[in-house]
Chain A
Amino acid sequence: MPVTVNVTSVIQKVVDGQREFAAEGATLGALIENIERAYPGFAGQIMDEQGEIRRFVNVYLNDEDVRYLGGKATPLKDGDTVSFLPALAGGM
Chain B
Amino acid sequence: MPRIPRAVVDEMVAHAREDLPDEACGMVHAKDGVPVAVHRVKNDAASPYRYEMNPLQMMRLESRRDSEGEKLFAIYHSHIASAARPSPTDVRMAFFPPGEVEREPAYPETMYILVSLASEPPDVRAYWIRQGGEVVEEPIEII
Contact = CB atoms under 8 A, between A and B. Distances in A.
Nearest to A83: B59
Contact of A90 (B56, B63, B89): B89
B53 A91 contact: no
Interface string B78-99: 0111100011011001101110
Given A63-B56, A90-B87, 14 more contacts: A8-B58, A9-B106, A9-B107, A56-B97, A83-B56, A87-B55, A87-B93, A89-B51, A90-B86, A90-B90, A90-B94, A91-B93, A92-B48, A92-B50
* A contact patch SS: mixed
B137 interface: no
B53 A92 contact: no
B25 to A, nearest CB: 8
Contacts of A92: 23, 48-50, 79-82, 87, 89
Interface residues of A, number: 20
A19 B107 CA distance: 15
B19 to A, nearest CB: 14
